[in-house]
Structure 1
Amino acid sequence: MRLNTPRIPALTPAEWSPKATEIMSPFVADGRDYNVFRTLMNHPDLAKRWLVFANHVLARSTLPEIDRELLILRIGHLCRADYEWNKHAEISRYLGMSEALISSSKSGPDTPKLQPFYRLLLTATDELHTDAHITDDTWKALSEHYSVEQMMDLVFTVGQYNMVSMALNSFGVQQDSPRT
């Protein structure tokens, strides 16, 4: 974690405004009242609008789940966003992603024995992070596997989680307490 204490607090339910309580009700109901959401309750209007886009990227994207998670893990690592990386490593394991593939999100496209397609995904993430642009060679290679919609979802996935990483790091969102 870049910050040991939050700059913006993760509000408790007692501190939520009526609008925040309404926004958080589905998250509380299924046990997903994570610190990222609780922090965003400091600005419920922003959170409500961001959640629509975030929901598309995480749950309605045209990308296969494993591909999406690899992109998220890589950008989280590149942004040094421990909260994001840890949360999505947990999701990746739940989805059945191997520990080797999860680890490749840290070692990057030069990871030995990495499948060529996963190497492409990591390369695209690195290019977006470094230059805000996917090179022609990488685009062409990915386009052999992905539709136009999937290519768009790839760019927006990396962009969304780059932005989220910036917020998590700058706000000082702390790791969630283990569930009992």
Structure 2
Amino acid sequence: MSQRNEVTGQPRPRLIPLPEEQWDARTRELLAVTPHDAGNRIPNIFTTLVRHPDLYERFLPFGGQLLLRGRLPEELRELLILRTAWNTGARYEWGRHLPLARAAGLTDADIDRITEDPETPGWTGLQRHLIRAADELNREATMSDATWEALADHFGDAELIEITMLVGQYHMVAFFLNATGVELDPGFDIPRS
């Protein structure tokens, strides 16, 4: 069993963020284009992942495409990301995306509902289908015909591809975050469950 942080109660990281005094020229260059938090702080996900600079260099453009330049409306993108974080138990992913979800228009009631069954009252039909898609992709690594067809009534081919890639990418990120124990950054704390 992993040791727990006395303050947060979360498992201690297996990999810590690479300390700045260990950054070489390439690391500095890679992290220079990374999104920074308040106070010019670089999020722990990036300072941990940069321990594998070749992978980091290729990961950032793909993740950025889905997060910043994707075709899905922000609200739907964040709904899928939060459901994926919930399905995988990715505390870091959940905590980092809560502010983005709220900024995209998800309400606190929507966010609470993300942790419940897709049939919970309050969802629109489209939101319900997206929750089902995230759940099915998480469980079976595919979508049922019924879910695919329901989404195809709302989206074109590119958006359907993006839905699967978005859930898959955030599933992969959850594997990394959970396995390495990346700690949630200051200012993004969420209540202990």
Q: What TM-score do you get using the length of structure 1 for normalisation?
A: 0.93
Counterpart-to-counterpart distance in 2, 1:28 and 1:138: 34
Aligned to 1:17: 24
Question: Can you give the 5+ residue segments of structure 2 that lack an aligned partner in the other structure?
Answer: 1-7, 189-193
Q: Tell me which of 110, 120, 128 is aligned to 1:111.
A: 120
Greater share of residues in helix: 1
How far residue 32 of structure 1 moved from its aligned partner, in angstroms, is 5.7
1:90 aligns with 2:105: no
- If asked which structure has higher relative contact order (CA below 8 Å, sep 6+), I would say 1
Using the aligned pairs only, state the percent identity: 37
Aligned to 2:14: 7
Structure 1 window deviating more from structure 2 (96-105 vs 149-158): it is 96-105
Report the residue type matching 1:11 in the other structure. L
Aligned to 1:177: 186
Report the residue type matching 1:5 in the other structure. R
Counterpart-to-counterpart distance in 2, 1:145 and 1:61: 16
Q: 1:88 to 1:150 in 2, by over 3 A?
A: same
Q: Tell me which of 58, 68, 92 is aligned to 1:59.
A: 68
How far residue 29 of structure 1 moved from its aligned partner, in angstroms, is 5.9
Question: Can you give the 5+ residue segments of structure 1 that lack an aligned partner in the other structure?
Answer: none
Q: What TM-score do you get using the length of structure 2 for normalisation?
A: 0.87
Structure 1 window deviating more from structure 2 (22-31 vs 57-66): it is 22-31
Give the RMSD, CA atoms, in angstroms: 1.8
Q: Is the 8 A contact 2:36 2:43 kept in 1?
A: no
Report the residue type matching 2:92 in the other structure. Y
